[in-house]
Structure 1
Amino acid sequence: MLMINWLMQQSILLSLVCALILLCHKPLLKQLGAHHMYSLWLAIPFMIFGSLVLQFLPNLLAESKVASFEYYRVLASLAVKDNDSLVSTPLLVSLWAVGIAVMAILLLIQHSYLKRILRSSKPFKQEENHGVLGKQLLPSLFTKTLPIMQSPNISSPMLTGVLTPKIIVPADFHKLSSSQQESVVAHELYHHERGDIITNLLAYTLLAIFWFNPLSWLAYRRFRDDQELACDAQITSAMNTHDKIAYSHALLAYSQHAQMGMLHTHYGNKNILKERIMQMKKQHGKSTLALIGMTLSLGLASLVLNQQVQAGDHQASLNESAKMHAKGIHPLTRVEPKYPIAAVKANQNGYVQLKFDISKSGRVSNITVIKSSPTGIFDKSAVEALTQWVYNESKQGAKGSQVQLDYVIDEPTANLERIKVTAH
């Protein structure tokens, strides 16, 4: 249940970020340039990382208030009304696991395919290139030239290999001019210098986790295309017009049959061929400070975006809060209770006051209902949810912690004065 809740929450945030980048891609690319546009995709792993951070620091950005109990508001919604008709949690987990298994199998299939290609490859004879490849364009990148292999089984140059990277070129690579060959090899070497093979593998891992989200597939493809645009921008930044035209011809030659792979780069891509050629005319600088600033901004934004939505309004008891903070205890995971269907249909509000212990490992136990209204309506839902709450590990744990879960059909409007009335 906890895993499904986390996946759904992250999938919603992932959809928002992906939709924003995809919808605004054209103006962003025009304003930021290929390098910074490619870096913008860091928002997604930062968002996921931010979620994991807030699992351990859930109150990092939260606000504490004072009352006699910790209060959590549980709201009914249309989605809650239909929860009994939804697919069961075990089945959802099974379907998700099957999807990940399929993605893993696809990765293994491509790994086997690349191994076959490497077995059929032979070292590329550099003497056919009229000299050593690549040293005229980007000297700083060629302190360690990668092995260059030639294979009759591919139709476009590629970089492959995580531990032992190699550049593989097609059988007709010798037909390109010397400057074209140099630019193609420089392109693949820049992929290596930037660590794109590992980056692609991490991106595919995220895609495998969120395989059920259509926007993640669109974002993955756009990310890979932006990766190529950034490489083009780097390689062509020092070229004159004649060299750029030659580079465009090389792109045209290898853009008809290139396939996108998880474990290799794809030099050619007919779907964005026009975009790549047009982008060469719009050179943007690559500022290290700008990249660092963008990275930090995305990290902070992801922390804010991933602020854990608790089960409604919550106020920490003065005494309980003092005790908990003194012991260094804070919640890591809070699961929102399900609003009972019968109560929704009856338009019924209520609350449950609970008392519980927290073990040294952070697990909740010894849950007892102190008081509830209406009696027995919300008790089971409240206890089931509280059983799944998790706190951080501590030396002593806590005894007799208290919480009140308020079940409310409709949230009062913000401008409505709210007065809490208690009887003593």
Structure 2
Amino acid sequence: MTAWLGQTLLAVTAAMLLVLALRGPVARACGAGWAYALWLIPAARLVLPPLGLVSLDLTDSPAGNFIPPAGGVTALPPAEAGPGQWVPFMLASWAGGAVIFLILQWLGYRAFLRRLGEDARPARPPFYDGVATFVSRAVEGPVALGLLRRLIVVPGDFSRRYSPGERRLAMAHERTHHRHGDLWWNAIALLVLAANWFNPIAWLAFRAFRADQELACDAAVAARASADERCDYARALVKAATSAGPAPACSMSDGGDLKRRLRMIARHRVSRLRRAGGLAAVGLLALAGFAVGAGRPPALAPA
């Protein structure tokens, strides 16, 4: 169990590094959606069957070479303290850290929902493309939330601060998050981060994942918009870029690099050839990511 866990977390880290290195080139060559799809690789790597471990040959171990003395008296080899005595403590620390991380995320999300509930009221209209919509002063920009009950929450001054075109595209952005299942992917990403809470690369990867998620959503909205509508969409992004929502939610202001998002919207062009290239690139990179650390199952050689 310990060997499997260590090798799995190491393989997930290697997959994260692979995606971090290639997400930029893939986004430029194939589109933001395919760069976002690359994050399936470390998530899938976490749940793959156990990786191969180094074979253990008992004949080469000190215990395997131990020969009892003559005279019929069986002597035991001297006991030596090894690193294995720290394994239970390390496992408990890892599991405890993961549980604490998830509890803190849950408490933060519940606190956010409580703030929403203090003054949230149905928007006009109360539904957008089948998704319940509310107005609340607890948010500074549109936010998509809810795994089972899908919601969109907009700020109290939404109808005043945003033009009709900006409002429509901002709502389309949050509706696209729901359509793509991004709230579920956020939950999975938080579970992966919980398993790697001690790993700074995982924290960097989570931030990059959220940035790529927003870029993919921007690309999906821009693909259905005219040139004038993309200008409205860019203005809506700038107005929303004041604060972010909690990690499980999808806020229009998330995504980090606003300049990069605006450049992508202005230059958005995705041809069929780029889509095909993206599919091929993600497939090849997935094979490379899954192969990281692969080997044969652990085996014990006979004494």
TM-score range, shorter chain: 0.7 to 0.9
TM (normalized to structure 1)?
0.59
Partner of 2:195: 209
Secondary structure of the residue that 1:187 maps to in structure 2?
helix
Q: Which amino acid aligns with 2:142?
A: P
Q: Which amino acid aligns with 1:37?
A: A
**Matched-pair contact (CA < 8 Å) for 1:40–1:294:** no
CA distance in 2, matches of 1:286, 1:201: 31
CA distance in 2, matches of 1:49, 1:252: 38
* Structure 1 position 305 matched with structure 2 position 292: yes
Range with bigger deviation, 83-92 or 36-45: 83-92
**Matched-pair contact (CA < 8 Å) for 2:241–2:252:** yes
Identity rate, percent: 26
CA distance in 1, matches of 2:140, 2:102: 25
Q: Which amino acid aligns with 1:88?
A: W
Q: Which amino acid aligns with 1:208?
A: A
Partner of 1:181: 167
- Report the Cα offset of residue 281 of structure 1: 2.7
- Report the Cα offset of residue 116 of structure 1: 1.0
**Matched-pair contact (CA < 8 Å) for 1:160–1:264:** yes
- Report the Cα offset of residue 147 of structure 1: 0.7
Range with bigger deviation, 177-186 or 25-34: 25-34
* Structure 1 position 194 matched with structure 2 position 192: no
Range with bigger deviation, 238-247 or 285-294: 285-294
* Structure 1 position 238 matched with structure 2 position 236: no
Unaligned segments of structure 1, at least 5 residues: 60-69, 76-82, 134-141, 311-331, 335-385, 387-401, 405-424
Range with bigger deviation, 235-244 or 210-219: 235-244
Query: Which of 240, 243, 247 does residue 262 from structure 1 map onto?
Result: 247
- Report the Cα offset of residue 217 of structure 1: 0.6
- Report the Cα offset of residue 110 of structure 1: 2.5
Name the larger-Rg structure.
1
**Matched-pair contact (CA < 8 Å) for 2:211–2:256:** no
- Report the Cα offset of residue 168 of structure 1: 0.5
**Matched-pair contact (CA < 8 Å) for 2:143–2:174:** yes
With over 3 angstroms needed to count, the CA separation of the structure-2 counterparts of 1:22 and 1:303, relative to structure 1, is closer
CA distance in 2, matches of 1:277, 1:22: 21
Normalized per residue, the structure richer in strand is 1
- Report the Cα offset of residue 300 of structure 1: 3.7
With over 3 angstroms needed to count, the CA separation of the structure-2 counterparts of 1:85 and 1:44, relative to structure 1, is closer
Partner of 1:403: 302
Query: Which of 36, 39, 51 does residue 37 from structure 2 map onto?
Result: 39
| Structure 1 segment 133-144 matched on structure 2, within 5 A | 142=129
* Structure 1 position 281 matched with structure 2 position 266: yes
* Structure 1 position 152 matched with structure 2 position 137: yes
Q: Which amino acid aligns with 2:18?
A: L
**Matched-pair contact (CA < 8 Å) for 1:255–1:269:** yes
Q: Which amino acid aligns with 1:29?
A: A
With over 3 angstroms needed to count, the CA separation of the structure-2 counterparts of 1:18 and 1:72, relative to structure 1, is farther
- Report the Cα offset of residue 94 of structure 1: 1.9
Deviations 1:344-386 (A, max 9, x none): xxxxxxxxxxxxxxxxxxxxxxxxxxxxxxxxxxxxxxxxxx6
With over 3 angstroms needed to count, the CA separation of the structure-2 counterparts of 1:253 and 1:73, relative to structure 1, is farther
| Structure 1 segment 17-416 matched on structure 2, within 5 A | 17-50=15-48, 52=49, 54=50, 84=82, 88-120=86-118, 121-126=120-125, 142=129, 145-175=130-160, 176-259=162-245, 261-269=246-254, 271-285=256-270, 293=280, 296-308=283-295, 333-334=298-299, 403-404=302-303
CA distance in 2, matches of 1:22, 1:301: 14
CA distance in 2, matches of 1:271, 1:203: 17
Partner of 2:9: 11
TM (normalized to structure 2)?
0.81
